């Protein structure tokens, strides 16, 4: 049987992680996988998570199954964080998922169950696992323009021109904030234009929100998702707690749908629950429980928000530091966009050969499309990166 299997293409980000681990040189710089790191290069467990884990250990008396859809308290707490009061509860359905990836996967399965002929539109570029999952599930896919190679900002005219071609029944995958891999984001007025266009075309948005709190703040980063969900009849939202709660390996995410009324929401909920049962039955609960405890306890929530804000501000100052060092190293302002980008990533806009040179000659690892994880830097490595970028001639 297994002789019929063929080798699978390696995921770019996973391949880079492996190469970095195998590099024995000293002073290598890892700007690859999207994991937050302190200046000392560690990915800490957040204080509020530690406290919640301790409390949970004390009070948890059973590990018996939760519901197939996960703990409804988690769904309420996380949908509250993402959506605020943007949509009426009766329109909302949700299932707990193993991470943001699980939520994306099942969102696409739900689209497939509803409209198997739908085309799913993804930004060019996007997180490489988006097209990979869509292909795996046998759905049609198309790209809309997103990144302007000259300004390193959003190609908004290209995006609007491409999204005008989307058909009723198609789905459009949008990054709610902190676009991965570019770091370039739409302004709120631009989001309003996108929403109006989606309304006109009758397409359904699928919002991937994996970095809430890493861009401009928890509320600000949720503004586009709230605008979309409150303006259109139907929306799918895949939320991840990996980054903003720092619980990567706990696999904690939520798939939410906003339906056109309470009756439609009931049926959507049944389908979402059915998908959980088919795929894994009961979703993981540990991370979800910690997140619920934090969001529902005033003190823990404040503690978590403070730590998240420190992380966000730290990344912003790394961005500003790198933009300034690049000004020094290259004698030009052409890297000013790094300070304007938001979230964990920035796309440098360098050719793959230059990215390769950075790795081979300077031990600097970034994804081949020149995406760098800003959180992989610190005040010591910023000048090294700036000098290396100048030297390889980016």
As measured in angstroms, the least distance from the Cβ of 9 to ligand LMR is 15
CA dist 57 and 55 (Å) reads 5
- For the question of residue 210 being annotated catalytic, the response is yes
Shortest Cβ contact with ligand LMR: which residue? 34
Question: Interface with ligand LMR by CB under 6 A: which residues?
Answer: 13, 33-34, 127, 129, 180
CA atoms within 13 A on the CB side of 277: 8
Q: Are 149 and 337 in contact (CB under 8 A)?
A: no
| 97/129 with CB nearer ligand LMR | 129
As measured in angstroms, the least distance from the Cβ of 33 to ligand LMR is 4
| 268/365 with CB nearer ligand LMR | 365
- Residue 242, φ and ψ in degrees, nearest 5: -60, -50
CA dist 257 and 272 (Å) reads 9
- For the question of residue 208 being annotated catalytic, the response is yes
Containing 96, the helix (H) or strand (E) segment is strand 92-97
> Is residue 142 classed as helix, strand or coil in its secondary structure?
strand
Q: Are 306 and 129 in contact (CB under 8 A)?
A: no
As measured in angstroms, the least distance from the Cβ of 180 to ligand LMR is 5
How many other CB atoms are there within 10 angstroms of residue 154's CB atom?
A: 20
In the set 52, 77, 96, 127, the catalytic residue is 127
* The Cα angle at residue 189 between residues 187 and 194, in degrees rounded to 5: 90
H and E: helices and strands count for the chain: 14, 13
| 33/384 with CB nearer ligand LMR | 33
CA dist 159 and 161 (Å) reads 6
**270: its two tokens:** 């049944």
- For the question of residue 121 being annotated catalytic, the response is no
In the set 107, 243, 304, 323, the catalytic residue is 243
As measured in angstroms, the least distance from the Cβ of 102 to ligand LMR is 12
In the set 210, 222, 229, 323, the catalytic residue is 210
User: CA Rg, the chain, in Å?
Assistant: 21
As measured in angstroms, the least distance from the Cβ of 312 to ligand LMR is 17
| 45/196 with CB nearer ligand LMR | 45
| 106/129 with CB nearer ligand LMR | 129
As measured in angstroms, the least distance from the Cβ of 65 to ligand LMR is 27
**Left if phi > 0, otherwise alpha if psi is -120 to 50, otherwise beta: which for 251?**
left
| 128/205 with CB nearer ligand LMR | 128
> Is residue 140 classed as helix, strand or coil in its secondary structure?
strand
Q: Burial, 189: exposed, middle or buried (Cβ in 10 Å; 0-12, 13-18, 19+)?
A: exposed
Q: Which residues are catalytic?
A: 127, 208, 210, 243
């Amino acid at each position: 049987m297994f002789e019929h299997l063929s080798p699978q293409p390696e995921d770019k980000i996973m391949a880079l992680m492996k190469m970095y681990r195998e590099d024995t040189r000293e002073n290598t710089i890892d700007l690859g996988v999207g994991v937050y790191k302190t200046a000392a290069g560690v990915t800490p467990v957040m204080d509020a998570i530690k406290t919640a884990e301790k409390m949970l250990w004390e009070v948890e008396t059973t590990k018996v199954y939760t519901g197939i859809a996960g703990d409804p308290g988690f769904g309420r707490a996380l949908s509250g964080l993402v959506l605020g009061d943007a949509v009426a509860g009766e329109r909302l359905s949700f299932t707990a998922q193993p991470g943001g990836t699980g939520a994306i996967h099942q969102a696409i399965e739900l689209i497939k169950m509803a409209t198997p002929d739908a085309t799913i539109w993804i930004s060019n570029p996007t997180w490489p696992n988006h097209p990979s999952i869509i292909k795996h599930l046998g759905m049609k896919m198309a790209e809309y323009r997103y990144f302007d190679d000259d300004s390193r900002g959003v190609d908004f005219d290209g995006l609007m021109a491409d999204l005008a071609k989307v058909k009723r029944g198609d789905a459009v995958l949008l990054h709610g904030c902190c676009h991965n891999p570019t770091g370039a984001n739409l302004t709120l007025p631009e989001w309003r234009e996108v929403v109006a266009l989606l309304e006109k075309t009758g397409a359904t948005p699928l919002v991937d929100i994996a970095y809430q709190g890493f861009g401009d703040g928890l509320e600000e980063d949720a503004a586009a998702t709230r605008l979309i969900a409150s303006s259109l009849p139907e929306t799918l939202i895949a939320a991840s707690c990996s980054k903003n709660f720092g619980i990567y390996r706990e696999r904690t995410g939520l798939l939410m749908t906003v339906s056109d009324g309470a009756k439609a929401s009931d049926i959507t909920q049944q389908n979402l629950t059915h998908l959980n049962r088919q795929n894994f039955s009961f979703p993981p609960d540990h991370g979800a429980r910690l997140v619920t405890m934090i969001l529902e306890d005033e003190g823990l929530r404040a503690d978590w928000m403070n730590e998240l804000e420190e992380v966000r501000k730290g990344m912003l100052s790394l961005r500003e530091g790198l933009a300034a060092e690049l000004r020094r190293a290259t004698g030009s302002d052409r890297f000013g966009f790094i300070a304007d980008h938001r979230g964990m990533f920035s796309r440098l806009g360098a050719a793959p050969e230059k990215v390769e040179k950075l790795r081979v000659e300077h031990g600097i690892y970034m994804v081949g499309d020149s995406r760098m994880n800003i959180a992989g830097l610190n005040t010591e490595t910023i000048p090294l990166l700036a000098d290396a970028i100048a030297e390889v001639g980016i």
